[in-house]
């Protein structure tokens, strides 16, 4: 193993501990991560934009400040750990394209609130992770950088829209990365790449400024290789900021508060009553959910009534997309992919009556979820209803023989959960007969990321697959798996 692999193979939690102790320096860690990206990324295209000199300057600055009398203060939280930021989020002085030809050469003069928060807690941005155009869709490809592939199978998608972050984590390029999630954009790639992704409660992670600062459907969240690392990342992202009117006060020590007591009772549903699911996916997820029984937890097959949640989400997503992009599309329609145009046109056709209906139905759904969580501690279901598909397919058009008529309904199982505003995590839970990753969606109680992370950690430990990674030895055209139960070397 080369020197940089020793540093990039460890968990984020281990790396930060060694950075805090002075055993390794931020500069050493930055160079190790940059070397790993150079080694691996030509195969997967997860990090098309890199900022090595900015990262090196930042590392040198931190090395002078971490030794201060107060131990570096908030900077000690990550102590110079390199991270990736999704290419929907502005980083001052770093090319930020949003995956769109319209912004192919855009370099912002300020950073997003999220980036400022992470850097105030010792993060070093080494690059931008790839995303589909404006984050729309569950397959990471765009006209600026092309497609990002799945490290577990180079002919398959890594998912989207936080696909670059998920693929980079799986490939060992970085220890932590940011993701964002409107309809499942953080959870789906986590599932496809066998990493952990957390969609936190709206307001938990401050971001912006944006066009719709009061819209609570899109959130930013942490992605890591395991639950502990993801909790660490969340701690470094939380806190109120005056620039985000929905942001919640106070940072929370999720990493130190991970529960050691098993949940009393959890529910599992193979489909939440809203979508077809490939049978193999449902079987793998059910088997994983039942592992809670080994911890003394009662597991029942149940789910709340999601009612017309699919139609509700279509209405609210269309409203959001039309508000974001309608002016640009009127001017430069030929530079948008057809899926975004479809979403915008759906939104522009909505009436006030339809939007008020959607808001009332969403409120009713939330009330049913609150009642449901009076009986259950968690709700479990598949994160994705199909395994990673051909990277050349724009989106899934059929599920287990059921045809779909638009580009988002294949991930209804994640977008209906978005409507609930509950914290939700995707946890690696197994592999298909082809050796492709499967994720379990774990939905937690309202505003309770601590409980969600703690109980997810217990299941992660019971499943025992958190240390499985797709990449170790790199051949000229393929990546080999280490300790992979579903594929031959």
What's this model's pTM, rounded to 2 decimal places? 0.95
Q: CA-CA distances (angstroms) from residue 446 to 207, 377, 414, 452? A: 20, 10, 17, 10
Residue with tokens 């056709």: 349
3-state secondary structure of 460: helix
Rounded-to-integer distance, Cα 372 and Cα 367, Å: 9
Instruction: State the pLDDT confidence band at 257, using cuts at 50, 70 and 90.
Output: confident
Q: What is the pLDDT of residue 71?
A: 63
> Once rounded to an integer, what is the mean pLDDT over residues 94-116?
98
Nearest Cα neighbor of 422 from 455, 392, 465, 451 is 451
Nearest Cα neighbor of 377 from 273, 302, 307 is 302
- Rounded to the nearest integer, the mean pLDDT of the chain is 93
Backbone angles phi, psi at 34, to 5 degrees: -60, -40
The set of catalytic residues is 86, 161, 185
3-state secondary structure of 336: coil
Rounded-to-integer distance, Cα 457 and Cα 259, Å: 8
In this structure, the number of other CB atoms found within 10 A of the CB of residue 287 comes to 13
Angle between helices 26-44 and 52-65 (to 10 degrees): 160
Backbone angles phi, psi at 443, to 5 degrees: -100, 125
Rounded-to-integer distance, Cα 292 and Cα 297, Å: 5
**Per-residue pLDDT tens for 402-442?**
999 999 999 999 999 999 999 999 999 999 999 999 999 99
The CATH topology of domain 3-463 is Amidase signature (AS) enzymes (3.90.1300)
Strand partners, 128: 49, 85
388 in Cβ contact with 159 (< 8 Å): yes
Rounded-to-integer distance, Cα 44 and Cα 155, Å: 10
Lowest mean pLDDT among 66-75, 199-208, 351-360, 478-487: 478-487
Q: What is the pLDDT of residue 403?
A: 97
Largest Cα–Cα distance in the chain? 64
């Amino acid at each position: 193993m080369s020197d940089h692999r020793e540093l990039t193979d460890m968990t984020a939690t281990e790396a930060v501990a060694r950075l805090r102790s002075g055993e390794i320096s931020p500069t050493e860690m930055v160079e190790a991560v940059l070397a790993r990206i150079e080694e691996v990324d030509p195969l997967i295209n997860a990090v098309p934009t890199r900022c090595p000199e900015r990262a090196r300057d930042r590392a040198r600055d931190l090395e002078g400040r971490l030794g201060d009398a107060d131990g570096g203060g908030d900077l000690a939280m990550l102590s110079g750990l390199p991270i990736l930021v999704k290419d929907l989020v502005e980083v001052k002085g770093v090319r930020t394209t949003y995956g769109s030809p319209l912004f192919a050469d855009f370099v912002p003069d300020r950073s997003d609130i999220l980036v400022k928060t992470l850097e105030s807690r010792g993060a070093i941005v080494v690059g931008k992770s790839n995303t589909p155009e404006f984050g729309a869709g569950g397959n990471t490809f765009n006209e600026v950088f092309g497609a990002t592939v799945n490290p577990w199978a180079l002919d398959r998608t890594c998912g989207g829209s936080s696909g670059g972050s998920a693929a980079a984590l799986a490939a060992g390029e970085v220890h932590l990365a940011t993701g964002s999630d409107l309809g499942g954009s953080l959870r789906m790639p986590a599932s496809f790449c066998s990493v952990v992704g957390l969609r936190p409660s709206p307001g938990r992670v401050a971001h912006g400024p944006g066009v719709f600062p009061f819209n609570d459907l899109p959130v930013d969240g942490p992605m890591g290789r395991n639950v502990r690392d993801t909790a660490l990342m969340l701690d470094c992202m939380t806190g109120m900021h005056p620039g985000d009117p929905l942001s919640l006060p106070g940072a929370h020590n999720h990493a130190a508060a991970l529960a050691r007591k098993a949940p009393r009772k959890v529910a599992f549903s193979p489909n939440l009553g809203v979508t077809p699911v490939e049978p193999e996916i449902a079987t793998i997820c059910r088997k994983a959910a039942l592992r809670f029984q080994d911890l003394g937890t009662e597991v029942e097959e149940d789910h709340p009534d999601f009612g017309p949640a699919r139609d509700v989400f279509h209405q609210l997503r269309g409203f959001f997309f039309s508000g974001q992009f309608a002016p640009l599309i009127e001017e430069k329609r030929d530079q948008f992919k057809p899926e975004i145009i479809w979403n915008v046109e759906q939104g522009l056709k909505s009436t006030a009556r339809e939007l008020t209906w959607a808001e009332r139905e969403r409120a009713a759904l939330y009330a049913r979820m609150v009642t449901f969580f009076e009986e259950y501690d968690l709700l479990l279901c598949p994160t994705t209803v199909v395994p990673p598909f051909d990277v050349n397919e724009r989106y899934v058009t059929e599920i287990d023989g059921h045809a779909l008529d638009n580009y988002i309904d294949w991930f209804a199982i994640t977008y209906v959960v978005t409507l609930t505003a509950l914290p939700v995590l995707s946890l690696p839970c197994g592999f298909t007969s082809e050796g492709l990753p499967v994720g379990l969606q774990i939905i937690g109680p309202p505003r309770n990321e601590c409980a969600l992370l703690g109980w997810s950690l217990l299941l992660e430990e019971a499943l025992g697959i958190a240390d499985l990674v797709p990449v170790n030895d790199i051949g000229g055209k393929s990546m080999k798996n280490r300790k992979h139960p579903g594929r031959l070397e």
